[in-house]
Amino acid sequence: DTGVSQDPRHKITKRGQNVTFRCDPISEHNRLYWYRQTLGQGPEFLTYFQNEAQLEKSRLLSDRFSAERPKGSFSTLEIQRTEQGDSAMYLCASSLPDRYTFGSGTRLTVV
Amino acid sequence: KQEVTQIPAALSVPEGENLVLNCSFTDSAIYNLQWFRQDPGKGLTSLLLIQSSQREQTSGRLNASLDKSSGRSTLYIAASQPGDSATYLCAVPSGSARQLTFGSGTQLTVLP
């Protein structure tokens, strides 16, 4: 069990650019979640995968956001045409039912 | 829609003190409740998971209680240490995906 890995740890991008984040979950976990956290707030749910199927998406996930989990392994979260309001920590978690393990997150700063 | 509230938002105590963090939720039909710790700029570490059928869980100096009927949970930290300084978040799963709804956290500072 090597934990949940996220890459990169930090990303600074100019407004309007596209960015992609990667999450490698714990291999035995078939559930994978993406959350977004802004300063002083708790994480907010973005989307959920069970194996390779994306089964739930929050209304926070605008059309500029897309997530994939090919073959039920790693997952990517892409943000197109970034805006300053996208600046946040993006957290990935994998779980057996109700036993969550979070990654260290990707801190995105849009300038 | 489930809402989770944590009080206080921040707490500063001297080392050695016992303390209680509070968490309340609006929908009592929960599967479980979890407490997490978050260090600055880092991800979340799971501390305690209380199933809906349980009243409390203990791990070392931490004890979490759950009262579903009143929509409340408390996290008790005994003999606090400077290393306990962090933000503590409670969360409940909801929806078909069992996604977590979090409170805004309590930022704890334990002074040496």
Query: How does residue A97 score in pLDDT terms, banded at 50, 70 and 90?
Result: confident
Q: What is the mean pLDDT of residues A75-90?
A: 97
Judge whether B91 and B103 are in contact, CB under 8 Å: yes
Cβ within 8 Å, pair B102-A43: yes
Of the candidates A69, A67, A89, which has an alpha carbon nearest to the alpha carbon of residue A78?
A67
Q: Is B101 on the interface with A (CB under 8 A)?
A: yes
Query: How does residue A71 score in pLDDT terms, banded at 50, 70 and 90?
Result: confident
Tokens 């926070």 locate to A60
Cβ within 8 Å, pair A45-B4: no
Whether residue B46 has pLDDT greater than 60: yes
| Phi and psi at residue A95, to the nearest 5° | -155, 150
pLDDT in tens, B14-40: 999 999 999 999 998 898 999 999 999
Cβ within 8 Å, pair A55-B103: no
Q: Report the chain B residue with the minimal C-alpha distance to residue A55.
A: B97
pLDDT for position A99: 83
DSSP symbols for B15-75: TT--EEEEEEES----SEEEEEEE-TTS-EEEEEEEETT-SEEEETTEEEEEETTTTEEEE
Averaged pLDDT of chain B: 95
Tokens 């260090």 locate to B39
Selecting from A91, A98, A104 the residue whose C-beta is nearest the C-beta of B32 gives A98
In A, what residues contact B, Cβ < 8 A? Answer: 4, 6, 31, 33, 35, 40-45, 48, 55-56, 58, 89, 91, 93, 97-105, 107
Min Cα separation A66/chain B (Å): 18
Q: Which long-range contacts (CB under 8 A, 24 or more apart) does A59-68 make?
A: A60/A36, A67/A34
DSSP lists the bridge partners of residue A17 as none
Cβ within 8 Å, pair A105-B96: no
